Amino acid sequence: MTTPVSATTDRSGSTSGLFTLADGRRVGPIFALVSSLFLLWGFCNGMIDVMDKHFQDELHLSLAQSAWVQFAHYLGYFLMALPAGWLATRLGYKGGIIAGLLLVAVGGFWFIAASHIAQFWAFLAGVSVIAAGLTFLETVANPYTTVLGAPHLAASRINLAQSCNGIGWVLGPIAGTLFFYGKDASGASTGSQTLWIPYAAVGVVVVVLAVVFSVVTVPDVKSPDVYHVEDESSSEPVSASSSPSNVGAVYVLLVGNIAVLTVSVAMILWAILNAFGAGPGLVGLAEKIPHPGIHAVTAENALAIILGAVAGLVVVAAAVVLVGRVRRLPVHSIWSHPHFSGATLAQFFYVAAQAGIFSFFVNYMTSQTPGISRDATSWLATHFTAIGSDGMRHITDGGASTLMSVAFGCFLLGRFVGSLVLAFFSSARVLGLYALINIFVCILVMSHVGWLSVIGVFLSFFFMSIMFPTIFALGIRGLGVRAKRASAYIVMAIMGGAILPKLMGAVGDARGLSAAFIVPLACFALVSIYGFAWPRLSGSEK
């Protein structure tokens, strides 16, 4: 078994630094340019997270129904992840970035047409195309930041780059407040007429960025091949399988990946069949905007039961097939390394928790926060609240959307603090600890103890901050040239953000949003297990 090294040294004996390669090249400027991409998709994601409430109000959708916005967003990631990884391997980092930027531009400009079509599906299509473009950027930029310096600082470096993502997430809800929740002089909503403006602006910006990347030099730095995965001729068994516990880990994690994949495919098939009227109605998909109201679906969800049964049979069959094959996986197969296959599962459940909390933040703030006295005259009270039917002041949609920028400020602060912490402490253990803290935060929110629970929601943003980039860095560590392919699968795992928010929305519709935090709680538990188990899964205690 090969143990990952903690630093890289060139022939002259010099050691690489945070933004210095082993050969002495300084790559700080290119790191800064690539980091600007993180701000871009943070901005787009931030707008997505305040869009749900807009469509709920315009189409009178339930929480679970409005979650189709998240489904469309993450569907773009799921469908484009493997093509993006394939093209990134052939085009290199530079070509992959430019291709992603141009696809984002197409999605941004489509929103102009979507506003004229004025149907829910048209906006969902734009969301999905933009997500497909962002998939290229995430598949390329995330692993690229991990190789622009010392390997042992990869997690710190990717978290620093992802801090720009946090800045975009702060700005996204502000734009959403202005263009999704605006009102005219008579007090009528203008969101449906102005929703396209920030997306068209994104289209212009990414075209400019594509031109910039086309003229600058982007070095194609290769990730260290710690596990010798580049040796195609090697039939050596997987290094991590040298112990019975890791043979079992490879088996269990592969079955888990097959399970989430089949569930994802079943959900996509259900959505397609519904779109063509072949199953329980996809409520609101073809409704005009604005629309006076819709009727609840009364059809039995027989299709869901059938697809669920088929998915279960696929998982069982796959489990049987895998018996006896795990030990024969060659070392150059990325699936033979449990620290990678565990990362795809951890990312699936982390993004599921993140998407659920982010997308229902506005709903939580408007429905679960305590009322305050109608006589309150502070600036916050008058600008963020309105007097409700009970005579108390409650947070408005626009106020909650603005507060989401504050929450993303906590997220951004967590990224900066996390980058510093990860430079001194084990990234795997920090990941496990942060996820464990978020479990207790979810319990606090579920307890529904007034403003203390509200504070808990903001704390969850802080402690979620490092999870995505840290899981990414831990998952691709030591995989050499196959890091690009591995990153595509980890990006594909983002599909968790399309599936679990619908479950969280369904629980919220039935039991209230405080109770719905049971869904992210379970997700954080699985992420915590991965973090604490990573040293054993990777065969390294460093």
At 541, the pLDDT band (50, 70, 90 cuts) reads low
Q: In this predicted model, what pLDDT tens digit does every residue of 66-117 receive, in sequence order?
A: 667 777 888 888 888 888 777 777 777 788 888 888 988 998 899 888 888 8
Q: Are 495 and 264 in contact (CB under 8 A)?
A: yes
> Using one digit for the tens of pLDDT, what is the confidence trace for 415-446?
888 888 888 888 899 999 999 999 999 999 99
pLDDT at 336 over 50: yes
Written in H, E and C, the secondary structure of 462-496 is HHHCCHHHHHHHHHHCCCHHHHHHHHHHHHHHHHH
pLDDT at 268 over 90: no
Q: How would you label 236-255 residue by residue, b for 16+ Cβ within 10 Å and e otherwise?
A: ebbbbbeeeebbebbbbbbe
Distances in whole angstroms, Cα of residue 483 to Cα of each of 51, 88, 335, 451: 34, 11, 12, 44
Torsion of CA 468, 355, 408, 392, to 10 degrees: -160
pLDDT digits (tens, 9 = 90+) for 442-462: 999 998 888 898 899 999 999
Residues 163-181 have a mean pLDDT of 76
Across all residues in the chain, what is the average pLDDT?
77
Is residue 239 scored above 50 in pLDDT? Answer: no
What CATH homologous superfamily does 28-538 map to? Answer: MFS general substrate transporter like domains (1.20.1250.20)
Place of tokens 């969902």: 124
Q: What percent of the chain has pLDDT over 90?
A: 13
Q: Does residue 5 register a pLDDT over 60?
A: no
Q: What pLDDT sits at residue 63?
A: 66
Confidence of residue 397 (pLDDT cuts 50, 70, 90): confident
- Mean pLDDT, residues 120-137: 85
Among the listed residues 179, 177, 175, 144, the one whose alpha carbon sits nearest the alpha carbon of residue 161 = 144
- Tell me: pLDDT of 512 over 70: yes
pLDDT at 189: 61
Residues, the chain: 542
Is residue 19 helix, strand or coil?
Answer: coil
Q: What is the largest CA-CA distance in the chain?
A: 76
Question: What number is the average pLDDT over the span 160-165?
Answer: 77
Give the rounded distance of the alpha carbon of 111 from its chain centre: 22
**Average confidence (pLDDT) over 57-70:** 70
Task: Write the pLDDT tens digit of every residue in 183-192.
Answer: 666 666 666 6
- Is the pLDDT at 350 greater than 70, yes or no? yes
**pLDDT (0 to 100) of residue 471:** 93
Measured distance between the N- and C-terminal CA atoms of the chain, rounded to whole angstroms = 14
The residue that leads in pLDDT, 197 or 374, is 197
As a whole number of angstroms, the distance between CA 76 and CA 139 comes to 13
Q: Is 60 left (phi over 0), alpha (psi -120 to 50) or beta?
A: left
pLDDT value, residue 385: 66
Determine the Cα–Cα distance for residues 441 and 445; give it in Å rounded to an integer: 6
Please tell me what DSSP assigns to residue 394.
E
**How would residue 524 be classed by pLDDT, with cut points 50, 70 and 90?**
very high
| pLDDT at position 229 over 60 | no
Of residues 128 and 322, more confidence is placed in 128
Q: Closest by alpha carbon to 336, among 235, 471, 481?
A: 235
